């Protein structure tokens, strides 16, 4: 029996991922987070560049044309490039970005309300003056009845989990996790969040990248 792929990322990311796999398996999209702007007023004058740790920040950023951008993830770098930024770095994760940051400062981290890694603090301590501003937040949304039934049921389900917060929200939305749910966590922190709420295990990506997550999803769908 072909598993159903249940996607709980924000709408745009889920639809993009669904398009890649809908020929392989049934796909149910049920975002548990919605991305909304904070309305923060940002003046990039005086900054040598921006740090972007999620593509979600780009639609709410000021004009990025010809602005140096230091990014986490290929998707974030692609979004910055499409917005006209000059991408100087596309790191795999926040730790790699901090270690590879060439400077100079001051830099501005355009980030979401829930962020990990304390990038601005680490870089400033390392001698690269960095500030941060919250330009978007993730508002929780209820899991759909269809997605909940699938996760609680006995049919095979592939459930990618991309962040600790979304893992917690999905886990808190169900009364139980079915015996044939294959949860895939982007990182150990995501797996820990899922386990803390559901007491269920999740397979963990070796590298926290979209590419590896897609490979693991495809593998689970093929059986």
Structure tokens that stand for 184 in this block: 């895939």
Reading the block at residue 65, the tokens are 């044309």
What average pLDDT does range 36-52 have in this prediction?
96
* Mean pLDDT confidence for 92-100: 91
Listed by start position, the domains of the chain span 4-32+141-222, 36-138
Q: What is the pTM assigned to this prediction? A: 0.79
* The predicted structure's pLDDT at residue 59: 95
- Rounded to whole angstroms, the Cα distance separating 79 from 96 reads 19
Beta bridge partners of 69: 50, 87
Architecture per CATH, domain 36-138, reads as 3-Layer(aba) Sandwich (3.40)
Q: Which two tokens stand for residue 16?
A: 């993009």
Which residue shows structure tokens 């006995």?
A: 154
User: Region 15-27: what's the mean pLDDT?
Assistant: 96
Q: What is the structure's pLDDT at 223?
A: 82
**Average predicted confidence (pLDDT) for the chain:** 95
Domains 4-32+141-222 and 36-138 share a fold: yes
Percent of the chain with pLDDT strictly greater than 70 = 99
For the chain, give the secondary structure using H, E and C. CCCEEEECCCHHHHHHHHHHHCCCCCEEECCCEEEEECCCCCCCCCCCEEEECCHHHHHHCCCCCCCEEEEECHHHHHHHHHCCCEEEEEECCHHHHHHHCCCCCCEEEEEECCCCCCHHHHHHHCCCCEEEEEEEEEEECCCCHHHHHHHHCCCCEEEEECCHHHHHHHHHCCCCCCCCEEEEECCHHHHHHHHHHHCCCCEECCCCCHHHHHHHHHHHHHC
What per-residue confidence (pLDDT) applies to 20? 96
How many CB atoms within 10 Å of residue 188? 13
Fold designation for 4-32+141-222: Rossmann fold (3.40.50)
Please state the rounded mean pLDDT for residues 36-44: 95
pLDDT tens track for 101-155: 987 899 999 999 877 668 999 999 999 999 999 999 999 999 999 999 999 999 9
Chain mean position to CA 38: 18
Confidence bin at 3 (pLDDT 50/70/90)? very high
């Amino acid at each position: 029996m072909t598993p159903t792929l249940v996607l709980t990322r924000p709408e745009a990311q889920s639809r993009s991922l669904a398009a890649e796999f809908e020929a392989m398996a049934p796909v149910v999209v049920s975002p548990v987070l919605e991305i909304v702007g904070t309305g923060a007023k940002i003046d990039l004058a005086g900054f040598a560049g921006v740090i972007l740790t999620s593509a979600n920040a780009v639609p709410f950023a000021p004009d990025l044309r010809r602005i140096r951008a230091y990014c986490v993830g290929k998707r974030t770098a692609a979004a910055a490039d499409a917005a006209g930024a000059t991408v100087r770095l596309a790191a795999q994760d926040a730790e790699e970005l901090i270690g590879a940051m060439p400077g100079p400062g001051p830099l501005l981290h355009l980030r979401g309300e829930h962020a990990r890694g304390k990038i601005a603090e680490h870089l400033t301590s390392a001698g690269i003056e960095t500030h941060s501003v919250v330009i978007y937040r993730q508002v929780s949304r209820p899991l759909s009845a269809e997605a909940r039934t699938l996760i609680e049921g006995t049919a095979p389900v592939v459930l990618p989990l991309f962040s600790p917060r979304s893992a917690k929200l999905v886990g808190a939305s169900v009364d139980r996790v079915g015996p044939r749910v294959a949860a895939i966590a982007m990182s150990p922190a995501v797996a820990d969040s899922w386990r803390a709420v559901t007491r269920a295990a999740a397979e963990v990506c070796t590298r926290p990248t979209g590419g590896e997550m897609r490979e693991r999803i495809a593998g689970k769908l093929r059986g």
